[in-house]
Structure 1
Amino acid sequence: MSGRTHARACPERTCLGCRERVAKGDLLRIVMIEGECVPDRRGTLPGRGAYVHPTPVCLDLAVRRRAFARAFRGPGPYDTAALRRAVERNGSTAAR
C-alpha cells in the first residue's frame, strides 16, 4: 500500500451570480429547454448545465450580468420565470 488515503474529491462549480466556487451539491443546476431556464434538482436532464446558488440574490445577479447567455453559449435573453419560482419556493421551505 502506498499510505495514501482514498478520500473522494468533491467536484466544485462556480455560481453564475456571485462567482464563488463551492461544492457542486450546494448549487442548483440549470439547463435550457426551448429558450427557458429550467431547474434540474436531480442533475439528470440532458444538455449543458449552469449553476447558481438557490437564492434570489444570486439569481438576480446572474440575470443582471446576462450570465445565462454566456453559460449556454446563446444569444439570450432567456425566460427565467420557472427558475425564479423554484428558487422562491426553495427559500420559503427552508425558512420553516
Structure 2
Amino acid sequence: MIRTCVGCRQRVDKTTLVRVVAGRDEAGWTAEPDPDGTRPGRGAHLHPAERCLRLALDRRAFARALRLEGPIGTDALAAWVRSEADE
C-alpha cells in the first residue's frame, strides 16, 4: 500500500514508513511511534529520519493528520527516530 510521509510529503510504500498514533499522558496528547502498526486509532506515516520529523513538526502535520486540537508532545517519537537513525 502507498502512504504519504507527513514530513516530506513523498508517496512511498508503507513498509518504508513508521506509523504514528496519538497517545495520552498527564500533559495531554502525544505523538507516539507504532512500528508494528497494530495500535488502534487514526494514524499518520513518517519516514524514520530526523529530516522528515523536523519537516512534520515545522508544518504542525501531526495535529492535522491525527485530527487533534492543541499542543502535541513529540519527545517519545523524536527519541525513537533518533534511535532508528543510529542503527
Superposition TM-score, scaled by structure 2 size = 0.92
- What one-letter code is carried by the residue in structure 2 that aligns with 1:42? D
| Count of aligned pairs | 83
Provide the C-alpha distance between the structure 1 equivalents of 2:70 and 2:17, rounded to a whole number of angstroms.
22
Match of 2:18 among 19, 25, 28: 28
Over 2 Å off, 4+ runs: none
Which structure has more RCO (C-alpha within 8 Å, separation ≥ 6)? 2
1:8-87 mapped onto 2 (5 Å cutoff): 11-34=1-24, 35-87=29-81
Q: In structure 2, list runs of 5 or more residues that go unmatched.
A: none
Distance 1:76 1:45 in 2: 22
Contact 1:17–1:52 at 8 Å: present in 2 too? yes
For the residues of structure 1 that align with 2:83 and 2:54, how far apart are their CA atoms?
15
Once superposed, what is the RMSD of the aligned Cα atoms?
0.7
Q: Which structure would you say has the larger Rg?
A: 1
Aligned AA (1:39):
P
- How many Å apart are 1:71 and its aligned residue? 0.4
Q: C-alpha separation between the residues in 1 aligned to 2:45 and 2:70?
A: 17
**Secondary structure of the equivalent of 2:76?**
helix
Question: What is the alpha-carbon distance in structure 2 between the residues aligned to residue 36 and residue 74 of structure 1?
Answer: 10
Q: Percent identity?
A: 49
Is 1:68–1:76's contact at 8 Å kept on the other side of the alignment?
A: no
Distance 1:40 1:69 in 2: 16
